Structure 1
Amino acid sequence: MTGWPYPRWIAHRGAGKLAPENTLAAFRLGAEHGYRMIECDVKLSADGVPFLLHDAALERTTNGLGTAGDLSWAELSRLDAGSWHSRQHVGETLPSFEAVSRWCRANGMLLNIEIKPTPGSEARTGEVVAREAARLWQGASVPPLLTSFRPEALYTAQATAPHLPRGLLLDSLWDGWVTHAQALGVVALVCNHALWDDALVAVARAHGWRMLSYTVNDEWAAKRLWYLGTDGIITDRVDLFAPA
């Protein structure tokens, strides 16, 4: 990429824990707090429709049962994804990826898309999400950033939409991660914030990779990352950190 078009502060799953995660209600609340970029999780329904949900299972954040990827989009779209959070959000639905794209583009919001496959569907999910992202953001001045913990998903995203920027998510520095990051042509590393130190910063800078961190909810951690010279912070605390 020429330049870095994304802001330093990114709202985790829309508005962190202040609204039901990965819903349009959370996106709206994150925007109300001044955030201009949102992180979300995208997976596939049984009939191949991309939609927002973090877990493989439905129970934690919806009134559904079982594995989300086993249900059709028609079934998933009827679930309540808000009542688990609070009475205020009873009836909030799971949003489709297309609905989120329309909202983001209409409101000038940028998006960090974590490709979050149901186990066993990594390659297919990367392919479909990248294809749909390329279609939905066609002509956009700033494209979405595609990230994943799963290299398999990023490889098919790369093959499907090579022009979309990619980032490798890391919860640990596993053997071979640098080789994969190079082969994937990533523009960023998105790491558990505790991983960042002077040595990892030096590796990222040597390869020209931007440095993002998740999930940063304490002021001391944000200050440490600031002094290390990292580029982006994903946070639940949209009420604590003012993105300006």
Structure 2
Amino acid sequence: MPAKNTFEWCYPRLIAHRGGGFLAPENTLAAMRCGHEHGFSMVEFDVKLSQDNVLVLMHDDTVNRTSNGRGLAASKTFRELSELDFGGWHSSFYTGEPIPTFRSVARFTQENNIFCNIEIKPCPNRETETGTLAAQAAQQWWHHSDLPPLISSFSLEALAAAKQAAPELPRAFLTEDLPDNFTEILEELDCVAINLKQSLLNQEKIERIHQAGYRVCAWTVNDYQRAKQLLHWGCDALFTDELLRINPNLA
């Protein structure tokens, strides 16, 4: 069923989570190359702002888990973030991997014909600012591209800001379970899809979403049989870390 608005859904059914899933350090250019090398034509990644408003790829509010540094990402300038190692936590092979800018990943994915799900992941109290700047950048960098990025976020405030900044870009509301008022939320934000936690998703919910005229994506599916089940039920796309077992051949 087509999405509720006039946007033509064009995305692959399998999406490499944070670029390279378990195989490479998340949200790095190395991860994007890894996903591409394993046959994925779409990647998901997280975008937030440094202290000096540079859009970078990073999931957590702190740098503790995915770098050799400590502290809040929002308290660090891009120069300070660039001095950290964002690969050594994963394995010695990736030691020295730098934090990438949103711009560098946009260039890589477009040059290699890779679709993107850009998750806006604002630092606390920077929801509107991050949503606005991320959407404006995506609008500028993908303006002439045949691969429109899908903008998503858990933050309603960030999605609303993205809608105002770049209304033509497709959006997806990211949440755990299907809200009772999901159609009101998706209409208000002019979304084309909703991204739901895979363990809370069933066939009845997928059918409800489709009947309302929207697409549904499931996160994060790392079990092969569960992936087959969700695709059989008509789930439009799956995010996965298991790039070897749950690969594009499954779809």
Retained in 1: the 8 A contact 2:183–2:212?
no
Distance 2:38 2:107 in 1: 20
Aligned residues: 244
Match of 2:210, as an amino acid? R
Q: TM-score of the superposition, structure 2-length normalised?
A: 0.94
Question: What is the aligned partner in structure 2 of residue 70 from structure 1?
Answer: 75
The Cα of 1:160 is off from its aligned counterpart by: 0.3
The Cα of 1:180 is off from its aligned counterpart by: 1.6
Match of 1:185, as an amino acid? D
The Cα of 1:202 is off from its aligned counterpart by: 2.7
Q: How does 1:91-102 map to 2 (within 5 A)?
A: 91-102=96-107
> Which deviates the most, 53-62 or 70-79?
70-79
1:154 corresponds to 2:142: no
For structure 1, the residue ranges without an aligned partner over 5 or more in a row are none
The Cα of 1:70 is off from its aligned counterpart by: 1.3
Identity over aligned residues, as a percent? 43
Question: What is the aligned partner in structure 2 of residue 130 from structure 1?
Answer: 135
Residue from 92, 101, 122 that aligns with 1:117: 122
The Cα of 1:176 is off from its aligned counterpart by: 4.1
1:51 corresponds to 2:81: no
Distance 1:174 1:208 in 2: 16
The Cα of 1:74 is off from its aligned counterpart by: 1.4
Distance 2:121 2:156 in 1: 11
Residue from 41, 46, 54 that aligns with 2:46: 41
For structure 2, the residue ranges without an aligned partner over 5 or more in a row are 1-5
Residue from 224, 245, 251 that aligns with 1:240: 245
The Cα of 1:201 is off from its aligned counterpart by: 1.7
Residue from 226, 230, 239 that aligns with 2:235: 230
Give CA-to-partner distance per residue, 1:166-194, whole Å, 9 cap, x none.
00111133464432222001101111012
Distance 2:242 2:117 in 1: 17
Distance 1:142 1:106 in 2: 11
Distance 1:190 1:173 in 2: 9
- Cα gap change, 1:174 to 1:211, in 2 (>3 Å): closer
> Which deviates the most, 178-187 or 163-172?
178-187
Question: What is the aligned partner in structure 1 of residue 200 from structure 2?
Answer: 195
Q: TM-score of the superposition, structure 1-length normalised?
A: 0.96
Match of 1:98, as an amino acid? R
Match of 1:232, as an amino acid? A
Distance 2:179 2:62 in 1: 26
C-alpha RMSD of matched pairs (Å) = 1.2
Question: What is the aligned partner in structure 1 of residue 213 from structure 2?
Answer: 208
Residue from 33, 37, 53 that aligns with 1:32: 37
The Cα of 1:198 is off from its aligned counterpart by: 3.0
- Cα gap change, 1:175 to 1:123, in 2 (>3 Å): farther
Question: What is the aligned partner in structure 1 of residue 110 from structure 2?
Answer: 105
| Runs of 4+ with deviation above 6 angstroms | none
The Cα of 1:3 is off from its aligned counterpart by: 2.5
Retained in 1: the 8 A contact 2:12–2:42?
yes
Distance 1:65 1:72 in 2: 13
| Corresponding residue SS for 2:23 | coil
